[in-house]
């Protein structure tokens, strides 16, 4: 299944986002991270935190299986500033 998310936080070690679907702590998810240059980066991670949010959404904290490189993190953060 593919679900759109609203990115809240991004670090080399993990990601925080809002999602309109509930997953349990411990669930493994794939995250497609758009980059400013090149194709999106697909990462896998484990849900470590889930709390209710507004409008039927859930707030998640996920830890990546492998940390992002500094270059990928900079590229992803640069992408967030667009639009």
Averaged pLDDT for residues 65-69: 93
Q: What is the pTM of this model?
A: 0.83
Collect contacts of 33-36 with beta carbons under 8 A, ≥24 apart: 33/72, 33/76, 34/76, 34/79, 35/72, 35/75, 35/76, 35/79, 36/75, 36/76, 36/78, 36/79, 36/82
Q: 83 or 36: whose pLDDT is higher?
A: 36
Percentage of residues in the chain having pLDDT higher than 90: 61
pLDDT at position 82 is 44
């Amino acid at each position: 299944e593919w679900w759109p998310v609203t990115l809240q936080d991004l670090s080399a070690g993990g990601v925080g986002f809002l999602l309109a679907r509930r997953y349990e702590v411990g669930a493994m998810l794939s995250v497609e991270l758009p980059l400013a240059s090149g194709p999106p980066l697909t990462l896998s991670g484990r849900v470590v935190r889930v709390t209710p949010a507004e409008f039927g959404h859930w707030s998640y904290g996920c830890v990546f299986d492998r940390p992002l490189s500094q270059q990928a993190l900079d590229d992803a953060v640069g992408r967030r500033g667009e639009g």
